[in-house]
Structures are given as structure tokens and as C-alpha cells.
A = this chain, B = another copy of it.
Amino acid sequence: MERPDAPPDVVIRRLPLYARSLRYLLEEGVHSVSSQELGERINVTAAQIRKDLSYFGEFGKQGIGYDVEKLLNHIDHILGLTHHWPLVVVGVGSLGQAIARYDGFQTQGLRIVGLFDSDPDKIGQMVDDLTIMDYSRLHAVISEHQARLAVIAVPATRAQEVADMLIEAGIRAILNYAPIILQTPDDVWVRYIDPVAVMHSLTYYLAREQGGAEVKRR
């Protein structure tokens, strides 16, 4: 099969979903799964799963399926989740607090090592067992933990400035919740979570339906 050297980003984005499904299966006591069964759980075809995984080697046996635990370990290894990644969160409004409290950010290969805000009233307050710190501490905390990951949860007007500070301090990958596209160097990864934009893409389809136009769904 012809195959480029590096798996495309869309494959990398699906791997965590495979891993999560495998984790759920393991919790349910399921130890073997076919690509068909795994696919049905995540609305991906069996062929897609096999193709995605083929970038990383040979998994599963024809007619037998995948060993759930082995495949999960493989994917965790591919994703670098064999150890915990320290990360910092900047902006501790309602959203930043929700992130700090969400155990998915404190387990599953991630560990929040610093919460930061510019509001003097918030600094020193605790969110669970983390203390909110001033931006002046950013550099030291990032260096100390060798953090490479950050979450930005500040308003749009402050996000670029915060991104610049983070990158200056050594951050190489950013999850940005602020509704603005960041300008960053080529060696920094940025992903966006933008619920309002997602909602607006849904209203498009709902509006078409109400207008009587034919719409194809995914």
C-alpha cells in the first residue's frame, strides 16, 4: 500500500478517540474487539480504523480482532501518554475554573501545574488544590516543570499577549479557548475550541431545513 511517511493530522486527532473507547471497553471487562465493533462505538468505519492504525504498525489478527489492552497501550505510547504532561492554564474565569476542576485535565496523561490570572482579586485563591498565580510567576513555573502545553482561557482581547508570553516562556503547544486566531511561530502548535462558532455552523443547517432546502447530514 502506498503510504506517506507521516500520518495525516486527521488520523492523529482520531487516535485519542480510539484510545478512549478502548478504555471504556476495558472498564466494561471486554478484552477483545473487532474493528467493526470499535468503529460502531465511534461512528467510524472498520476500514477507516484499520487504515488509521496501519500507519503505526500491525495490530489485531484477521478474524480475531484487537486485544483491547494491548492496542490501548500501543496508542497511549504513540500519543506520548506513557507519562504525565505538565500544563498551565491562563485565565481563571468560569471556564478556567471548569477546566481546572475537570478531572480529564488532571488525569489521562495530563497534569495542571499552574493556574494564572491577571486579576489581583483572584491571585492567591484556590481552585481545588491549585493556587491562582500572577503572570509574573509564569516563566518560573513553566521552567520548573518543563511544561510545553498551555490552555488559554482569557478574553479575546488578551489572548495574543498571553500567547506571546507563554511561547517566550517555553510553551510549544496551545489549546486556545479565546475566540480569536492567534499569530504564532511555525514551531508552536495551536488548536482552537470555539463553541459559538460550532453552534453557528449548526444554525446554518437548521436554517436550511426550515427553509425547505435539502440537507445532507454527515
Given contacts A98-B95, A102-B94, A175-B195, contact A80 B207 (CB under 8 A): yes
Segment among A10-18, A62-70, A115-123 that sits at the interface with chain B: A10-18
Q: Give the interface residue-count category, chain A.
A: 35 or more
Majority SS of interface residues in chain A?
A: helix
A6 to B213, CA, bound (A): 10
Q: Which residues of B contact A19 (CB under 8 A)?
A: 200
Q: How many copies does the complex hold?
A: 2
- Chain B residues near A85 (CB, 8 Å)? 199, 203, 206
A197 in the interface, Cβ–Cβ < 8 Å? yes
Known contacts A41-B181, A199-B87; A206 and B97 CB within 8 A of each other: no
A204–B210 Cα distance when bound, in Å, is 42
Does B203 contact A109, Cβ atoms closer than 8 Å? yes
Q: Are A217 and B80 in contact (CB under 8 A)?
A: no
Cα separation A173 to B97 with both chains bound (whole Å): 27
A110 contacts partner chain B, Cβ-Cβ < 8 Å: yes
A24 → B minimal CB distance (Å): 8
Binding site for B on A (CB under 8 A): 6, 9, 12-13, 15-17, 19-21, 24, 41-43, 78-81, 85, 87, 93-95, 97-99, 101-102, 104-105, 108-110, 148-149, 151, 156, 172-173, 175, 179-181, 186-189, 191, 193-210, 215-218
16 intermolecular pairs with C-beta atoms under 8 Å apart = A13-B201, A16-B194, A79-B203, A80-B210, A85-B199, A85-B203, A94-B102, A95-B98, A97-B98, A105-B195, A109-B200, A189-B202, A189-B205, A189-B206, A189-B218, A193-B193
